[in-house]
Amino acid sequence: MASSLTKDSAGSAGTEKTFLGHPRGLAFLFMTEMWERYSFYGMRALLVLYLSTEVVDGGLGMKTATAVAIYSVYNAMVYLLALPGGWLGDRVWGARKATAIAGVIIMSGHFMLAIPVDAMFFLGLAVIAMGSGLLKSNISTMVGQLYRDKNDPRRDGGFTIFYMGINLGAVAAPLTIGSVGQNVDWHLAFAMSGVGMALGLVFFFLGFRHLSEESARVPSPVSATERAALLRKGLVWVAVAAAAYGVVGLLGAFTVDWVLWPLTILGLLLPAWYLVKIRRDRDLTPVEQSRMSGYIWFFAAAAVFWAIYDQTGSVLSLFAKKDTEATLLGFDFPTTWFQSLNPLFVMALAPLFAMLWVALFKRNREPSTLSKFSFALLMVGGSFFVMMVAQGLAGGDAKVSPMWLVSVYFMQTVGELCLSPVGLSLTTKLAPRKYASQMMGVWFLAMTAGNSVIALLQLLGAPTDTQGWFASQGVVAVLAGVGIFIWRRKVKPLMGGVN
């Protein structure tokens, strides 16, 4: 996107060059995030397909269940690692340095995937997850730091522009990287993801002088004593893990399950432990404790939603490959193109939803947050009932129309727009003062929990290519949506006046 430079009357001197009326640094953060999301979604569109494709066709030849479990655990770890990523930005490096380091880590991970060695591939996945968690926690912080006045009227608009960068990258990635991966070479496509992140780093480094000076500072530096204690604990855990896996390796019993099971269990237990820890903190006021009790309802609902929603790149991607016609109006296309539908729908519908909420608010008819969450669950649950029908129509050599998946992605996007931005806003409103900066990471843990549930089901052997798979999860989501709506009058008092 080209810069549109104007004179900023809101600037301190009235002579600040701007990007679409915003601080110029936003243009560079926009481009950094766009290319990082391009690399992320491009690789993710191919991940399950590459893992499950036969070795003779260049893939790893894994069972479908294992491929879906790896995909789900990878997603879970990206969101889980956003917590330590935020801590490193706040206590060790500062947001700017943390983002630069994250970009280098992500780029290195993608280029590891481009090397046709199995061990290097899985190491690359781990590296990308670490870098993504670190970047996710810090780049948005720098967007906010561009506006010196917390009440700057441009602030919300700046985040909207930034959000568009995310979706532009997400739309373009499956169309380009996905096409190369499916039609030319898997590893060349993974290298394209690395190049995408490299371009993001170029824009980031070029924009250093336009970023807020605050982004280069460490808000709350960790003390030398605390640093030494954390280092000791970290080395102990690393030593324990190395010893355990060393024994398993020497016994010749090591398989990928030895990695998937511990990470899946961690992805389920850590969010629960963290929520209980905050809820029981004696430093919280009675109102804050009550709000955290109410927040648990929203967290559980979000976990159910993301468990279904995040299967777009795994279960639905496999359905697209095996059971869906990849032809529309006589035009053949790679099945990875389906992955571009969600961000495309988001860009088309998000402004309409924003206007809808404002219009309803003016008429005093805007739905409550609980009602919006309930509707989101009904939509995502309904999308899996549509998938249940589509799965029933597919079989043998029969393939269904691509419009089935188009309708599913549309329904899920409508649900997302009723839950994701609302949930982010609600998290900041219900956050206890002591945990104000950490609660956004807690929101991401709902995605960790949801993806970990799907990974657990796959490790237990649940088949994904059956009507039962879609029907059971659709029922759970719909029941959760109905339950929240029925119990909304009992949950609302827990929210301490927050709507």
Domains in the chain: boundaries = 16-222, 272-499
Q: Model confidence over 111-123: pLDDT tens digits?
A: 999 999 999 999 9
What the block records as the tokens of 460 is 């237990």
| pLDDT score of 3 | 36
Per-residue burial over 397-407, b = 16 or more CB atoms within 10 Å of its CB, e = otherwise: eebbebebbeb
Q: Is the pLDDT of residue 106 over 60?
A: yes
| pLDDT score of 360 | 87
DSSP for 89-144, written as a single string: IIIII-HHHHHHHHHHHHHHHHHHHTSS-HHHHHHHHHHHHHHHHHHHHHHHHHHH
Closest Cα to residue 335, out of 398, 400, 412, 413?
A: 400
Radius of gyration, CA atoms only, the chain: 23
The fourth-level CATH superfamily of domain 16-222 is MFS general substrate transporter like domains (1.20.1250.20)
Least confident span in 61-70, 377-386, 437-446, 478-487: 437-446
Read off the DSSP letter of residue 89: I
Q: Is the pLDDT of residue 323 over 90?
A: yes
Region 55-79 average pLDDT: 94
pTM confidence score: 0.90
Q: Residue 494's CB: how many other CB atoms inside 10 A? A: 18
Least confident span in 180-184, 348-352, 458-462: 348-352
Region 428-440 average pLDDT: 78
The answer to whether residues 454 and 68 touch, using CB atoms and an 8 Å cutoff, is yes
Fold matches, 16-222 and 272-499 = yes
Q: Is the pLDDT of residue 10 over 60?
A: no
Question: Where does the pLDDT of residue 15 fall: very low under 50, low under 70, confident under 90, or very high at 90 and above?
Answer: low
User: What is the spatial distance between Cα 143 and Cα 127, in angstroms, rounded to a whole number?
Assistant: 25
Q: Is the pLDDT of residue 322 over 90?
A: yes
Closest Cα to residue 456, out of 264, 318, 296, 288?
A: 264
The answer to whether residues 353 and 475 touch, using CB atoms and an 8 Å cutoff, is no
For the four alpha carbons of 372, 377, 380 and 385, in that order, the dihedral sign comes to negative
Region 249-273 average pLDDT: 92
Who has greater pLDDT, 149 or 246?
246
| pLDDT score of 346 | 92
Q: What percent of the chain has pLDDT over 70?
A: 96
Closest Cα to residue 312, out of 180, 450, 126?
A: 450
The fold adopted by the segment(s) 272-499 is Growth Hormone; Chain: A; (1.20.1250)
Residues in the chain: 499
User: What is the spatial distance between Cα 308 and Cα 460, in angstroms, rounded to a whole number?
Assistant: 17
Query: Which residues have a Cβ under 8 Å from the Cβ of 34 and sit 6 or more positions away?
Result: 1, 165, 166, 168, 169, 200
Who has greater pLDDT, 473 or 423?
473
Farthest-apart Cα atoms in the chain, separation: 70
